[in-house]
């Protein structure tokens, strides 16, 4: 790991590169390893996505779809002033929700695909575009006619 990456940023690699920058919002997508997620399961996933709101991350928007999750978040700092890593935030969400889902659904094994897609936002315009993208996702998929009617959507959470 280079010295530049140790100064408030991190990078890790699986198949896709992942970057984090201080004080920047991140758009994240992770997919279910099976689908569709039943409605009761989507309730559980939404609850886990919002669990660390205000402690590890500022969650600006989240939508839990039948086969994937979109999050717009900004990592926060711990009591020592260190930025929570995106890896840590997503690990907490995916791990806790997987345990809960497997218990409720009477199954075992992976719930989420190992890899996730994340994109550091560059401008306020991009932020607003991502909020609208998240809001409209259930409409585009034909699940509802208005974003407000989708139960597993939270904007300005």
At 65-113, the pLDDT tens digits run 999 999 999 999 999 999 999 989 999 999 999 999 999 999 999 999 9
Task: Identify whether 55 is part of a domain.
Answer: yes
CATH number, position 108: 3.30.70.1290
For the chain, what is the total number of helices (H) and then of strands (E)?
A: 3, 7
Query: What is the model's pTM?
Result: 0.84
Domain total of the chain: 1
Averaged pLDDT score across all residues of the chain = 87
Task: Identify whether 16 is part of a domain.
Answer: no
Q: Percent of the chain beyond pLDDT 90?
A: 73
Task: Identify whether 4 is part of a domain.
Answer: no
The structure tokens 């002033």 sit at 81
Task: Identify whether 15 is part of a domain.
Answer: no
* Residue 31: domain span: 21-155
Neighbours of 9 (CB within 10 A): 16
CA dist 33 to 36, 40, 111, 138, Å? 9, 17, 5, 19
CA–CA dist 155, 105 (Å, integer): 27
Note whether 134 and 73 are within 8 A (CB). no
At 3-53, the pLDDT tens digits run 333 344 444 445 544 455 567 899 999 999 987 999 999 999 999 999 999
């Amino acid at each position: 790991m280079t010295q530049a990456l140790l100064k408030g940023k991190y990078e890790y690699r699986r198949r896709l590169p992942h970057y984090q920058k201080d004080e920047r919002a991140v758009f994240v997508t992770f997919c279910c390893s099976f689908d569709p997620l039943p409605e009761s399961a989507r309730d559980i996933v939404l609850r886990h996505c919002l669990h660390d709101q205000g402690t590890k991350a500022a969650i600006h928007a989240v939508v839990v779809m039948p086969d994937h999750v979109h999050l717009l978040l900004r990592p926060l700092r711990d009591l020592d002033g260190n930025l929570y890593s995106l890896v840590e935030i997503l690990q907490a969400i995916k791990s806790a929700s997987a345990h809960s889902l497997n218990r409720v659904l009477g199954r075992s094994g992976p719930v989420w695909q190992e890899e996730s897609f994340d994109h550091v936002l560059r401008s306020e315009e991009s932020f607003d575009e991502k909020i609208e993208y998240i809001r409209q996702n259930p409409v585009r998929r034909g699940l509802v006619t208005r974003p407000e009617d989708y139960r597993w959507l939270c904007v300005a959470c």
